[in-house]
Structure 1
């Protein structure tokens, strides 16, 4: 679901009444032709709004919340759960933490990689899923369960689906926007250092188990990629 171009124009006039389209595109790094095409189609991408918001020093989440389709983002930011915070920690950082806790000679303090990471979307959904989340999201949005699963496998999710998923899970509406890379944790109101604090609160046994689950999932993904690569190579060989 993109943003209606007329509503976008009203928003832009409200936050930058004296700025021309050229000014906005130049400041945001967005191609003028790209924005023009979106305006002609009547649908402006959320990613375009976010880029323009940042260029104008407007919080992207607040900008999205000004549109009716993202009304769930309005109000005081809802604090993330520890499970959500940890879902946005990269697998390699979890492994570093495991080593640090079990080897006094290993570096005990290291910088966490920025969110999102390569499995952020799937990890976020797994962190908030009570076992029935996919079914509730399917009923609420009309998305087929297999299509929802396809988004998770590809580690991407449309912003409106991310917000709807958070709503059905009963967590803060901006968490999914972080997982899909649309906004940063700070822009969504997550406290600075919250991911590290959640990691430090995680018990060692839980940490090891989680790292093991992540590695197992990574292994399956790599096997699939290898299978697809071999299959493609065989097809090309048969084609001569």
Structure 2
């Protein structure tokens, strides 16, 4: 989702004061040409709004809520569910925790706590969508937003989801509206109001049997993905051999 360029310029004037466009871009780490192109097209990306807000040390969620497209974002902030927290723990971190609990592992006091990988991990979007449900979430999301199912599937496979789709998914599932912006990397967990250390706490509190079941599901999906990739590589190799 983007925001109207005119609205962005009005907002920028109100928060940046007399600062020049060049200085704003420099502070936000945005190329002047990139912002200029967005303004010419009449739409400014959410990433630009977030970058400028961070550079001006503004609360990012509150800043986004000033735009009509995200008017209910601040009111929709909610603690992530336990399932959401687990969905944002990588496969490797889950496996490391399981091995740490193994009877054959070293005594607990001799082991370092698992250092969790940052969000998003390599499969954040799919695991989040699976965690928040309902089972027909993807179909409802496609109908609500008008996106073609195959295009939605492509985004999910690539571990991407536009801000519009992320917020729409959260709205359909009844979870915090900012949570989808976290799993797609638009917002940091702290910016979205996620309590510090909640993922690590949830990992420690989840029974080993539940972690093993979750790891099994993740690995089964990874196995299918790798098998498809290997088949595609083999097909390409066969074509080259026939040509050569």
Q: Same fold (TM over 0.5)?
A: yes
Write out per-residue CA displacement over residues 122-162 of structure 1, whole angstroms, 9 at most, x where no aligned residue.
Answer: 00000001212223223322223333222211111010110
Contiguous gaps of at least 5 residues in structure 2: none
Write out per-residue CA displacement over residues 4-59 of structure 1, whole angstroms, 9 at most, x where no aligned residue.
Answer: 11111111112111211100111111111111011100111111111111111122
TM superposition shift of 1:116: 0.4
Q: Distance in 2 between matches of 1:19 and 1:100?
A: 53
| Aligned residue in 1 for 2:85 | 85
Q: Comparing 78-87 with 103-112, which one deviates more in the overlay? A: 103-112
Correspondence for 1:223 among 220, 227, 242: 227
TM superposition shift of 1:211: 0.9
Contact 2:76 2:176 in 1 (8 A): no
Equivalent residues in 2 for 1:229-240 (5 A)?
229-240=233-244
Equivalent residues in 2 for 1:1-240 (5 A)?
1-75=1-75, 77-103=77-103, 104-105=105-106, 107-240=111-244
Task: Output the TM-score relative to the length of structure 2.
Answer: 0.92
Secondary structure at the residue paired with 1:73?
Answer: coil
Task: Output the TM-score relative to the length of structure 1.
Answer: 0.94
Secondary structure at the residue paired with 1:44?
Answer: strand
Write out per-residue CA displacement over residues 190-236 of structure 1, whole angstroms, 9 at most, x where no aligned residue.
Answer: 00101111112211110110011111111222222222223333334
RMSD of the alignment, in Å?
1.6
Q: Distance in 2 between matches of 1:187 and 1:129?
A: 24
Q: Distance in 2 between matches of 1:44 and 1:233?
A: 43
Q: Distance in 2 between matches of 1:184 and 1:85?
A: 14
TM superposition shift of 1:101: 1.3
Pair 141,179 (structure 1): closer, same or farther in 2 beyond 3 Å = same
TM superposition shift of 1:60: 2.2
TM superposition shift of 1:102: 1.4
Q: Distance in 1 between matches of 2:75 and 2:19?
A: 28
Contact 2:22 2:32 in 1 (8 A): yes
Secondary structure at the residue paired with 1:36?
Answer: helix
Secondary structure at the residue paired with 2:72?
Answer: helix
Q: Distance in 1 between matches of 2:12 and 2:202?
A: 37
Q: Distance in 1 between matches of 2:20 and 2:228?
A: 48
Secondary structure at the residue paired with 1:72?
Answer: coil
Secondary structure at the residue paired with 1:188?
Answer: coil
Q: Distance in 1 between matches of 2:52 and 2:138?
A: 33
Q: Distance in 2 between matches of 1:52 and 1:33?
A: 15
